[in-house]
């Protein structure tokens, strides 16, 4: 792990082809484009001085620049499909800046646009966890409401369902089930060398920073968007 520089670069990866909620990255949420909330949160972290947006969509790039980010390149269509790997997009962004600017931002920081309810301290907590050492990747997670040892099932070909885990029935109470967490899209911090090496996310050493569930919503559908807008509006009213 290399040392922290005084001004770090954060990335936002926002493709234009969302099928769950078309145009979501530039859709207004509580009066601001969705991507604008991510840009604002990243730039509110004192160590972050630059936000670079990786997108295949010129409209997203335009809106992002208006919100204070940079759009120095467009992502190839091959890295913006439904089947494209997020890690490949991460590598492309790092490689592009390496080739065009002669340096690789390190650590790598991703602040997804789809989690607008994050706070700057959530990103800062990931940086602090990474700074402590012992991890190639730091991600965010929140307490899970379902547990594969107790109340998550999978469907069989005969129409019956069975627990995902716990086939011997040893766990009969929620309190006895092993603790599990839901990975969120609040923030990621990683060693840029690990990303460039081409491995999978969990092929390295991964640590998690816990964030409150009310800040962890990940927008994929119109229903998610409505919930996020309601919560953001309530937050803004409380802060007014």
pLDDT value, residue 5: 45
Question: What is the mean predicted confidence (pLDDT) over 223-228?
Answer: 96
Model confidence, pTM: 0.89
Residue ranges of alpha helices (H) inside 185-221 are 192-196
* Confidence at residue 6, expressed as pLDDT on a 0 to 100 scale: 60
Mean pLDDT of 174-179: 80
Rounded Cα gap, residues 95 and 79, in angstroms: 14
Element (DSSP H or E) covering residue 172:
none
Distance from the first to the final alpha carbon of the chain: 41
Banded pLDDT at 193 (limits 50, 70, 90): very high
Mean pLDDT of all residues in 155-179: 84
Angle at 163 between CA 158 and CA 167, to 5 degrees: 100
Local confidence band at 27 (pLDDT 50, 70, 90 cut-offs): very high
Mean pLDDT for the chain overall: 92
Q: What is the mean pLDDT of residues 55-64?
A: 95
pLDDT interval class at 4 (50, 70, 90): very low
């Amino acid at each position: 792990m290399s040392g922290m520089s005084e001004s770090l670069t954060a990335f936002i990866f926002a493709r234009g082809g969302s099928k769950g909620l078309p145009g979501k990255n530039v859709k207004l949420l509580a009066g601001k484009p969705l991507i604008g909330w991510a840009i604002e949160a990243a730039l509110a972290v004192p160590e972050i001085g630059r936000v670079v947006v990786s997108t295949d969509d010129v409209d997203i790039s335009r809106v992002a620049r208006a919100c204070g980010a940079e759009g120095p390149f467009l992502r190839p269509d091959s890295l913006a499909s439904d089947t494209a790997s997020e890690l490949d997009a991460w590598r492309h962004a790092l490689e592009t800046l390496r080739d065009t600017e002669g340096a690789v931002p390190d650590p790598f920081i991703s602040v997804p646009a789809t989690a607008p309810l994050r706070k700057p301290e959530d990103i800062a907590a990931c940086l602090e966890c990474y700074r402590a050492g012992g991890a190639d990747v730091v991600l965010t997670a929140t307490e899970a409401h379902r547990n594969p040892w107790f109340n998550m099932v999978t469907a069989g070909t005969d129409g019956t369902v069975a627990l995902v885990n716990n086939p011997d029935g040893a766990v009969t109470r929620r309190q006895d089930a092993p603790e599990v967490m839901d990975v969120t899209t609040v923030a990621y911090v990683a060693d840029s060398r690990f990303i460039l090496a081409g491995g999978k996310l969990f092929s390295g050493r991964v640590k998690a920073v816990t964030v409150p569930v009310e800040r962890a919503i990940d927008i994929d559908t119109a229903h998610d968007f409505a919930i996020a807008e309601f919560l953001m509006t309530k937050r803004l009213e409380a802060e007014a």
